[in-house]
């Protein structure tokens, strides 16, 4: 009876997560800064006659269209920058003190000195901020400069990037701070794409070494190097010139009457709990077993084996045979499944980009569906909420859907006819209610601008 009553109950309306116009975000974070650091006369940077001005910077979250768990395997991925951004109000200091506060972490203000920041020395959200300053100092020392060029600062953060949603709220935080430090220190890196690659590398070091999250480099590259109206094809092979490692792919879904719906399941994920690191270690061990530097080398050889054949069926059979031969050399089924996902996901990314170049965005749905199946079954990073979201979106008319981000919770994406976006969102919200899950959030992913000053 209870189940029947639940089925008859009105479906809940979808909850939409709106982005902020830059002037709204900047005003919010300036007000938060004034509240956190009123004029108290503290030496080094508080409001007083002649004190440095408070400057505001912003960086976007990202959503990955395809190419999941491939970045740390030297593979390909295809993110876009979201209109949802993290804003930081930053004021330089004359000493080495860093003071941090966040509207999202009201009870977790942090104060420290740059000389004390190092891997393992800072915990919590502050590690993502202080770690960027540390990494930029390391970069300067490695390139003949001085880490003392990076001085202390006061900073307050506010954000409309959903937290813990797999939409790179951490990278948005790092990259907003990176462009801020770059500006106040006069480094000039944000002025060129090559310089932005350097800032991305610093943000990656902050996340990997100071925050202790062994992620790849897609998120920071997307936040700093995406372009409005485009997806970023990112080639993560080591040794590539950073400028040659990216290509801007036009991504105008509206022109084809489509929209990309993001479903924040609100099943919070965390990439520092060991699951992510375990999968990365498995992939690295498998590559070593195969005598390869990384799994991209295997993917390239498998794809080349298929390309040598004439018709589509023969190409698919030849690639499958080459992959099976490699998998047979691995010691256990877990390794084989992890490797199969990485190799096939790299191939799917290439195929999806080819469709976009041909103006066939409406045909990419099956590749998205196959990606989700691979992430669910071979890489085992999906979750009940993600599977419910994907299945409900497809049933409601999505052309394709998949989980996105690191997994273990977070978000899914669905390619939908633009006029069906609200209906699909309502259907997913209803499916969550029927499954006894918490209400999800929804946003539309429009390819947006990268990090910069406001």
Backbone angles phi, psi at 146, to 5 degrees: -125, 135
User: Contact, 299 vs 75, CB < 8 A?
Assistant: yes
**Residue 8 in tokens:** 């008859």
The one catalytic residue in 71, 219, 264, 378 is 219
Exposure letters 315-349 (e unless 16+ CB within 10 A, then b): beebbeebbeebbeebeeeebbbbbbbbbbbbbbb
* Neighbouring residues of 449: CB distance < 8 A, sequence distance ≥ 6: 60, 81, 226, 227, 228
Q: How many helices (H) and strands (E) does the chain have?
A: 13, 14
* CA distance readout (Å), 446 to 83, 160, 172, 325, 454: 7, 15, 16, 41, 19
Q: Are 204 and 210 in contact (CB under 8 A)?
A: no
Instruction: Please return the burial class of 237, using the count of CB atoms within 10 Å of its CB with bins 0-12, 13-18 and 19+.
Output: middle
Active site residue 158: no
Handedness of CA 118, 119, 124, 127 (dihedral sign): positive
Give residues with Cβ within 8 angstroms of 244, minimum separation 6: 235
Q: Cα 431 to chain center, whole Å?
A: 26
Q: State how far Cα 110 lies from the chain centre.
A: 25
- DSSP H helices in 22-89: 22-36
Of 243, 247, 202, the C-alpha closest to 220 is 202
**C-alpha distance from residue 81 to each of 102, 226, 265, 349, 450 (Å):** 22, 6, 19, 17, 7
Catalytic residues: 219
């Amino acid at each position: 009876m209870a189940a029947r009553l639940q089925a008859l109950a009105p479906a809940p309306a979808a909850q939409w997560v709106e982005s902020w116009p830059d002037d709204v975000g900047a005003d919010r974070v300036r007000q938060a800064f004034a509240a956190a650091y009123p004029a108290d006369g503290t030496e080094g940077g508080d409001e007083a006659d002649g004190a440095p001005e408070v400057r505001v910077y912003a960086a976007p979250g990202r959503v990955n269209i395809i190419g999941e768990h491939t970045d740390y395997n030297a593979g390909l991925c295809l993110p876009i920058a979201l209109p949802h951004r993290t804003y930081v109000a930053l004021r330089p200091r004359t000493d080495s003190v860093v003071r941090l506060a966040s509207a999202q972490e009201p009870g977790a203000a942090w104060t420290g000195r740059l000389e004390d920041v190092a891997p393992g020395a800072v915990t919590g959200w502050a590690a993502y901020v202080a770690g960027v300053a540390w990494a930029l100092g390391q970069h300067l020392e490695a390139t003949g400069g001085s880490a003392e060029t990076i001085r202390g600062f006061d900073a307050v953060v506010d954000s409309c990037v959903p937290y813990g949603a797999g939409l790179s709220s951490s990278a948005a935080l790092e990259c907003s701070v990176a462009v801020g430090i770059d500006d106040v220190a006069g480094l000039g890196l944000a002025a060129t794409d090559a310089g932005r690659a350097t800032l991305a590398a610093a943000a990656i070091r902050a996340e990997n070494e100071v925050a202790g999250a062994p992620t790849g480099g897609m998120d920071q590259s997307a936040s700093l190097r995406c372009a409005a109206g485009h997806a970023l094809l990112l080639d993560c092979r080591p040794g590539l010139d950073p400028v040659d490692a990216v290509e801007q792919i036009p991504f105008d879904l509206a022109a084809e009457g489509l929209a990309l719906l993001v479903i924040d399941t609100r099943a919070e994920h965390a990439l520092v709990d060991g699951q992510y690191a375990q999968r990365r270690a498995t992939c690295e061990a498998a590559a070593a077993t195969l005598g390869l530097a990384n799994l991209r080398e295997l993917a390239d050889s498998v794809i080349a084996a298929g390309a040598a054949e004439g018709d589509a069926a023969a190409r698919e059979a030849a690639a499958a045979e080459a992959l099976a031969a490699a998998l047979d050399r691995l010691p256990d089924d877990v390794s084989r499944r992890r490797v199969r996902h990485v190799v096939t996901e790299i191939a799917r990314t290439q195929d999806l980009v080819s469709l976009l170049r041909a103006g066939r965005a409406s045909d990419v749905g099956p590749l998205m569906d196959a990606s989700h199946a691979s992430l669910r079954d071979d890489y085992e990073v999906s979750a009940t909420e993600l599977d419910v979201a994907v299945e409900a979106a497809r049933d409601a008319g999505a052309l394709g859907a998949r989980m996105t981000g690191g997994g273990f919770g977070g978000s899914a994406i669905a390619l939908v006819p633009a006029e069906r976006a609200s209906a699909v969102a309502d259907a997913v919200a209803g499916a969550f209610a029927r499954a006894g899950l918490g209400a999800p959030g929804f946003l539309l992913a429009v390819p947006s601008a990268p990090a910069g000053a406001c």
